[in-house]
Amino acid sequence: MNFGENLKKIREERNLSQQELAKKLEVAQSTIAMWEASHRTPKLGEIDRLARILNITVNRLLGQPKEQKLEVLKNEIYIDGDKVSELDATDVDGIIEYINAIKKKKGSLPQTPPAKMGSGSKKVLIIDDEQELCEMLYSFLIPHNYKVFLAFNGQMGLEYFEEIKPDIVLLDLKMPDIDGIEVLKIIRKVSNVPVVIITGHPQDVSDIHLADLEIGGFIEKPVSLQAILNTLKYLVGE
């Protein structure tokens, strides 16, 4: 489900018409219609206001990430039944301590996060219109001490880039609104941040080189999670 479909579903769950939601947001009804038809993506400030008015989190409004089942068995962690092999018993202890701290403080975060969840985490912005791939990368990278942000089209990706100032960008080339090469051109006007291309059309990477646009590498779809992790570690010097 894309952003527009998700917005419409949430609006209808709250028995709001497009006109009523537009009035609360102080925008034209046509703006709501364009968002729901995916003809336009709201800006970050508009997304924040939408979430507050609809009384939901921004993540739920964006449809990311889907709920997952987390299990801890014999000092091992499983997500949706799959063992997270990269974590050991020490990490399990840290996560349990983290959860207990949240319970004790009734929802507030502990003063010092457990190992591998430190404040020095690198920020990774993933710009790709394949929502399932984004969610898979989100779930995979979070336990490796990365702060992950998802954008499902080029416009949203550029707005997130300006807002969060990521350390690394994972960028798809084929997107419906602004293609990846145009996104990269705009990024390169203001930043030399490492950009890794993830694409099912590796032949298109030659267009990037012809345009003299610097990239940190490219990974062909279907992606290898280990290749993603190795590339990120290399770029951040781990």
pTM: 0.55
- Give tens-digit pLDDT for 155-213: 889 988 998 899 999 999 888 888 889 999 999 999 999 999 998 877 777 767 666 78
Token pair recorded at residue 32: 């709501």
Whether 116 shows a pLDDT value over 80: the answer reads no
Between 67 and 115, the higher pLDDT residue: 67
- CA–chain centroid gap for 7, Å, is 17
- Give tens-digit pLDDT for 15-50: 999 999 989 988 888 888 888 887 777 776 778 788
Name the CATH architecture for the domain at 3-62.
Orthogonal Bundle (1.10)
The answer to whether the bond into 202 is cis (omega within 30° of 0) is no
Residue with tokens 């291309």: 197
| Secondary structure tally for the chain: helices H, strands E | 11, 8
Q: Using CA of residue 58, residue 63, residue 69, residue 70, what is the dihedral sign?
A: negative
pLDDT at 70: 62
CATH of 122-236, picked from 3.10.105.10, 3.40.50.2300, 2.40.33.20, 3.40.109.10, is: 3.40.50.2300
- 116 secondary structure, DSSP code: T
Whether 80 shows a pLDDT value over 50: the answer reads yes
Domain ranges of the chain: 3-62, 64-117, 122-236
- 213 secondary structure, DSSP code: -
Residue 50's CB is within 10 A of a number of other CB atoms, namely: 22
Token pair recorded at residue 112: 């010092």
- Residue 111 pLDDT grade (very low, low, confident, very high; cuts 50, 70, 90): very low
Distance CA 53, CA 44 (A): 14
Cβ–Cβ < 8 Å for 21, 53: yes
